[in-house]
Structure 1
Amino acid sequence: MKLDLREALRQHILVGDGAMGTYLYQMGFPVGISYEELNLLQPDVIMDVHRRYYEAGARIIETNTFSANREKLSKYGLEQDVEAINVAGVELARKAVGHDAYIVGAIGSIRAGKRKNVRTTKVKEDLRQQIEVLLGTDVDGLMLESFYDLEEMLLALKVIRKLGDIPVICQFATEGTGTTHDGFSLQEAFAKLQQAGADVVGFNCRSGPNGLLRSLERVAGMDAPLPFSVFPNAGTPDYVDGRFTYAATPQYFAETSLKFADLGARIIGGCCGTTPEHVAAIAEALQGYQPDATRVDLLQSSEAKAAVVSEAAADPQQGAAGQGADFAEPSIIDLVKQRHTVIVELDPPRDLDIERFMQGARALKDAHVDALTMADNSLAVTRMSNLALGYLVKEQTGLRPLIHIACRDRNMIGTQSHMMGLHALGIDHVLAVTGDPARFGDLPGSSSVYDLTSFEIIRMIKQLNEGIAFSGKTLKKKADFIVGAAFNPNVKYLEKAVQRLERKIEAGADYIMTQPVYNAELIEKIHEATKHLSIPIFIGIMPLASGGNATYLHNEVPGIQLSDEVRRRMGDLKGEEGRAAGVQIAKELLDTAMKYFNGIYLMTPFLSYDMTVQLTNYVWEKAGRSIPTCTH
């Protein structure tokens, strides 16, 4: 009689099957279709794949249901077929293999590492639907695979445990790092999964055998460990002559399967790029292998110990000062605690001529501003890279650059790369913003990325300060970014805006910069609503250049509202008369702002830096000093 899956894992190492999706691709099925729908359309093909893996030696057979949830199937108009596809997936696997095989229902991550792409309530609903269908079949267990975040994994596991006591295998997609995508160490994640009722924990996808071996080495010495499972990719895919190929050979899989077994793996199979030949090699290598029945997982190989020593030697604490040590002066956070501090924004040019921009930077340097801040293609209008200009400002004027980082234009890869470049250039003050949608800018056909929300980008930049990459890998050094967050107080319900601000502070924001304010009473309200906050606020003030400028800002620019009084005073003023009136209104606003806030954020309209120079001088005069005590 076949043992229960839990008992089988206590007595044996079980060989898992290999890839389904990439194997179907190798068989000629194109990318862009639902491979799960083939359970209904071409059941003989799916049964044949299961049979080949079984004949190769696999005794853990996954159902072809990895993406058979409502969210993923809806992309193909199949959201009404969740039950039919999942039921068929189990039936086909059961019919295709012998009675000594264990059929496990495959459940994939819905978010797939994109934490913001689906609401948590919907994730839970869709997971529950698929889980309930699979539990209504005769599966021997369930496999949660290719999950990136512990949060989603726990969500699925808790749903399963409320519905039954079936064996559950929990696998993270990893690249050999020591953390999940949501920042938990592997040891901590596995401990939480064990507490929540997991039977097996492990890894699949994203990495080949070497990467998953490193991950397993990190957790092999855990106290009271669960059995481990590993399903590596067949190396990194290559794109040759219009086809994806994988390099890792079956022989290589045979060799590494023994290493996995030595570290306590009780289920060893393959993921993307693997074939029945890879599985056959694993099965042959493990034939006759006898694990330590008392405590397999106490084993930690010499390679693992060497990895630990190597990591300790590359302690990210070393070099924590980063490359930003050019500024021995206090950060703007330290400065604003001591005195009034002025940040001035100067927009990068929309063309290739930087002469006027650099003139403005030098003039503001002479006015002793504390930092020069540059937007990241504000209003989705294409401008010169603020990273490049920030470096030029730093090198040619000595001013501290403060760079805006928008979520709109870069995916997670580009964002981390951008931040690493800033660190290398010694630019450590940044402002994290969402960014205006691309369709409203000068290239409306371009895409808005938004891989990260403003909350997530703050948290992940601060993760770089811990020496940890977005992927969870060590960076060998720690960055030293001081991260600001944007705040729009020009809203109907200020309390709700402050609550959103509190979330940004929880995410790790070090300071706040507001949208421009044109009402003295609102400045007072902002003070009352935010005085409980633990980080400094820089009040935004942008002098108006003309009556037309005032009308445009009030009616067409999101996040900016002018009072009736300000619009009346600006009227139809133009040219020098308009700029003079704008500066005067800004000075009156500064009179109020400086009573309540040390942080002043001046925005320069149309590169008219003479206006923000005047206002900077006004701040110093009003503060009782013509030159600040700390200059750059």
Structure 2
Amino acid sequence: MQEHSFLEEIKNSVLVGDGATGTELFARGAGQDKGIERLNLIAPELVLGLHKDYVAAGSRVIETNTFGANRINLARYGAESEVGRIIQAGVSLARSAAGGGVYVAGSVGPLPTVEGEPIAEQEASACFAEQISALLESGVDLLILESFTNFKDAAAALGIARSMTSLPIVAQMAFDTDGYTADGFSADDAALRCRDAGADMVGANCGYGVTSVIAAIRRMSRLGLPMSAYMNAGFPEQVEGRLVYLSSPGYLADRARLLVGMGVRLIGGCCGTGPDTIRALKKAVRNMDGLSPIAHVKESLPRGAAQTVSANPLPPGRILVELDPPTSLNVEPVIAAAKTLKKAGASAITIADNPLASVRVDTLTVSAMVQQKANIPVIPHLTGRDRNRIAVQSTIMGAHVLGIRSILCVTGDPVRMCEEPNTSGVFDVNSVGLVRLVAAFNAGQRMGRDCQTAFSIGVALNPNVRSISGQMVKLRKKVDAGAHFALTQPVFS
């Protein structure tokens, strides 16, 4: 099909995409130890059959079975050298099923972590470039980047894709039920950034179920950008020994009408959905073409974080002293040290968060005890290394309940420094994402006004580098995310 006809169609029409690939292939008998993308080579008839069923159900856009066709993921199956062959076969199978009236979209998903650590930036770029290049060479009509949970990875893939092609690019991210990414970007902020990075259409898929997709689209809808939405069928539950997705095609079809009413122009399904879902979606949106056309706005990205309640400023004075939590159960020496430092003129104490990736009494417990018993303001460090997104938010809420009013958001020392076996970093959010989360709590945007906090948000700045320019770029991002102050390592003349 013509490369730009997709963009022309979505201006005034609603296109129906396909449903899940992985969960549907598993349901059709694919072994879970084979690698979904490898099925393009070892069980092509299974993949082709699924594509044909989606086309028969009404899909106008079908995705290639290449979501995880990158060398990092394929290395799990010893197939890292087969990236090109797997992708070429995947595009060929989709094209065979598509015929003349269906678009073939090259699917690109996020890269996996390796032993809990994110892939190095240079290696990640090479992986995305290899995958996207193979998709383009194999003849896709457009690209769909999907299921990205943090903006940095999405931006990397999007930048590489746009540098390689003028084909339409759909950028979909996974959001939580409030419409935020794992690294703290609101859906509207992420959408504008994706647009500016080269996306022709922005949207949401998978995430925390239908409610998360609706929350994200609701935020995006005021921007006037072309939008896509691919809903999953919720979270699977055990029923008579089998994992079953309980959201019915009828329910998803009803939600599809709501999403299209918000301006979505490409609607499809994700995990747990199949041809029956697509058939229901097709019927639900059949008469919804010709809605108000999309206005392609070019508003500038707003600077700064969400408006906050009055966060307490740093305590008066300029002397802050960092103390480490104890490696034993005796916190009294830390409290005694804080009292001594206060008498010597310290304005506040900062408490590190498992420094050097070592096991210690947790920072929040120590911070609360020191603040109460030494009667000095305490600033606990908060990292995303040891906590997933749920635990990070619980820690933020707990800090406020305990009377903590300043938090230092840092990445944390790498896990490779620790001596604990079988330990991996979490890093659902980085330091910028932490700042965004705390700022969102300050603004009452995370759990409602009953959970509105009042933190002064700090970040780290390392001046002990050859060139300060890179550090200043990072600091600008942190300030834009909502940081109020920065702490540096010691500086000597």
Aligned-pair Cα RMSD in Å: 3.9
1:90 shift after superposition: 1.4
Which residue pairs with 1:335 in the alignment?
317
CA distance in 2, matches of 1:395, 1:246: 49
Q: Distance in 2 between matches of 1:135 and 1:344?
A: 52
Which residue does 1:174 correspond to in 2? Answer: 175
Alignment of 1:465-484 (within 5 A): 465-467=438-440, 473=446, 476=449, 477-483=452-458
Change (3 A) 1:438 1:159: closer
* Displacement after TM superposition at 1:434 (Å): 5.5
Structure-1 separation of matches of 2:333 and 2:168 = 68
1:503 Cα offset (Å): 6.2
Q: SS of 2:36's equivalent?
A: coil
Q: Is 1:51–2:52 an aligned residue pair?
A: yes
Change (3 A) 1:254 1:480: same
Distance in 2 between residues matched to 1:255 and 1:268, nearest whole Å: 12
CA distance in 2, matches of 1:221, 1:125: 35
- Is 1:527 aligned to 2:492, yes or no? yes
In structure 1, stretches of 5+ residues that fail to align are: 299-314, 516-525, 529-632
Structure 2 match to 1:94: 95
Aligned residues: 474
Q: How does 1:418-457 map to 2 (within 5 A)?
A: 418-431=395-408, 444-449=420-425, 451=427, 456-457=430-431
CA contact (8 A) 1:169 1:199 kept: yes
User: How far off is 1:512 after superposition?
Assistant: 3.1
Shift of 1:36: 0.1
Higher deviation after alignment, 36-45 or 229-238: 229-238
Corresponding residue SS for 2:284: helix
- Once the two structures are TM-superposed, the CA of residue 452 in structure 1 deviates from its matched residue by 7.0
Tell me by how many angstroms 1:34 deviates.
1.6
Change in 2 beyond 3 A, CA 1:186/1:393: closer
Query: Is contact 2:349–2:379 with CA below 8 Å preserved after alignment?
Result: yes
Contact 1:90 1:139 (8 Å CA) reproduced: yes
User: 1:240/1:364 Cα in 2 relative to 1: closer, same or farther (>3 Å)?
Assistant: farther
Q: Residue 81 of structure 1: CA displacement? A: 0.8
Change (3 A) 1:75 1:286: same
Is 1:496 the counterpart of 2:471 in the alignment? no
Task: Check conservation: 1:105, 1:143, Cα contact below 8 A.
Answer: yes
| Residues 359 and 181 of structure 1, relative CA distance in 2, 3 Å threshold | closer
* TM-score, L = length of structure 2: 0.81
Matched with 1:568 is none
Judging changes above 3 Å, is the alpha-carbon distance between structure 1 residues 49 and 496 closer, same or farther for their aligned structure 2 residues? same
- Aligned residue in 1 for 2:289: 291
- State the partner residue of 2:365: 388
Distance 1:50 1:439 in 2: 43
Contact 1:439/1:445, CA 8 A, preserved across alignment: no
- Change in Cα spacing, 1:414 to 1:41, as seen in structure 2 (3 Å) is same
Pairwise CA distance, 1:446:
4.8
Task: Give the superposition deviation at 1:120.
Answer: 3.5
Match of 1:401 among 362, 378, 394: 378
| Mean CA deviation greater in 198-207 or 5-14 | 5-14
* TM-aligned CA distance change 1:421 to 1:52, over 3 Å: same
Listed as ranges, the matches of 1:559-574 within 5 Å are none
Distance 1:499 1:350, change over 3 A: farther
CA deviation after TM superposition for structure 1 residue 248, in Å: 1.0
Is contact 1:465–1:481 with CA below 8 Å preserved after alignment?
no
Task: Note closer, same or farther for the CA distance 1:242–1:388 as it changes in structure 2 (3 Å cut).
Answer: farther
Between Structure 1 and Structure 2, the one with more helix by share is 1
TM-score by length of 1: 0.65
In the other structure, the counterpart of 2:211 is 210
1:462 aligns to 2:469 (yes or no): no
CA distance, structure 2, for counterparts of residue 74 and residue 475 of structure 1:
43
Offset, 1:196:
5.5
Q: Which runs of 4+ in 1 moved over 6 A?
A: 497-501
Query: Hey, what does 1:350 align to over in structure 2?
Result: 328
- State the Cα distance separating 1:356 from its structure 2 match: 5.6
Q: For residue 425 of structure 2, what is the amino acid of its counterpart?
A: V
Q: Secondary structure at the match of 1:61?
A: strand
Deviation readout 1:100-155 (Å, 9 max, x if unpaired): 3222221223379x998234433333223222222223433222222345554454
Summarize deviations over 1:550-579 as a string: whole Å, max 9, x none.
Answer: xxxxxxxxxxxxxxxxxxxxxxxxxxxxxx
Task: Give the direction of change, closer, same or farther, for the CA distance of 1:429–1:41 in structure 2 (3 Å limit).
Answer: same
Match of 2:107, SS state, is strand
Percent identity over paired residues:
32
Preserved CA contact (<8 Å) 1:233 1:270: yes
Hey, what's the Cα distance between the residues in 2 that align with 1:430 and 1:159?
35
Instruction: Report what 2:268 is aligned to.
Output: 269
Counterpart CA distance in 2 for 1:154 and 1:121 is: 14
Unmatched 5+ stretches in structure 2: 296-304
Amino acid in structure 2 at the alignment position of 1:485: A
Measured at CA, do residues 392 and 292 of structure 1 come closer, stay the same or move farther in structure 2, by a change above 3 Å? Answer: same
SS at match of 2:368: helix
